[in-house]
């Protein structure tokens, strides 16, 4: 470098990339972050309730109780952090439940069957079921519960 010449500014390529592509990928990244939180929260609710209530309540009932708590957390975090609200909260909540209730119904069948016919404990069954639930929920949330209205030409 010649004397007196200013040094080049530090490279800002990562920030430039982030600013350029963030709007396009924001929803996906936020869904992963918030979805991870919601999955851990739901799993934690189930695990804590199962630990405290097993032997007194059926695993399916424990799962249903955990669902009530976890689904409210999930709805609020997805609605306000991932998918921008597009309609009345009650409408979106009902649509959100329309996505998650079938997943819960399947889980209410899978959990007792897996406990009866496999060597897995309830914690392992729920961890494995979470893989399916995350994928199904993403598709349902994106394409139904929080979908944006199509722009009219």
**pLDDT at residue 8, rounded to an integer:** 52
Residue 67 lies in a domain: yes
| Tokens encoding 59 | 């695993």
**pLDDT at residue 44, rounded to an integer:** 97
Residue 87 lies in a domain: yes
Residue 14 lies in a domain: no
Residue 110 lies in a domain: yes
Residue 9 lies in a domain: no
Q: Would you call 96 helix, strand, or coil by DSSP?
A: helix
By residue range, what is the domain housing residue 40?
Answer: 25-145
**pLDDT at residue 1, rounded to an integer:** 52
- DSSP annotation of 121: -
Q: How many domains does the chain have?
A: 1
**pLDDT at residue 3, rounded to an integer:** 59
Give 44's Cβ-side CA count (13 Å radius): 8
- In the chain, which residue ranges form alpha helices assigned H by DSSP? 13-53, 59-77, 89-117, 122-140
Tens-digit pLDDT profile for the chain (153 aa)? Answer: 555 556 555 555 665 656 566 667 777 788 888 989 999 999 999 999 999 999 999 999 999 999 999 999 999 998 888 877 778 889 888 988 998 999 999 999 999 999 999 999 999 999 999 999 988 888 887 777 666 666 665
Residue 6 lies in a domain: no
């Amino acid at each position: 470098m010649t004397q007196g010449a200013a040094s080049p500014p530090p490279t800002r390529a990562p920030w430039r990339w982030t600013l350029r592509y963030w709007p396009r990928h924001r929803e996906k990244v936020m869904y992963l972050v918030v979805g991870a939180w919601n999955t851990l929260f739901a799993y934690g609710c189930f695990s804590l309730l199962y630990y405290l209530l097993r032997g007194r309540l059926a695993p399916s009932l424990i799962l249903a109780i955990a669902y009530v708590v976890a689904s409210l957390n999930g709805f609020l975090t997805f609605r306000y952090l991932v998918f921008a609200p597009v309609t009345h909260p009650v409408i979106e909540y009902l649509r959100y439940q329309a996505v998650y209730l079938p997943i819960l119904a399947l889980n209410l069948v899978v959990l007792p069957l897996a406990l009866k016919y496999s060597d897995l404990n309830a914690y392992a069954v729920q961890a494995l079921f979470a893989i399916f639930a995350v994928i199904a929920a993403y598709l349902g949330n994106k394409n139904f519960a929080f979908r944006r209205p199509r722009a009219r030409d």
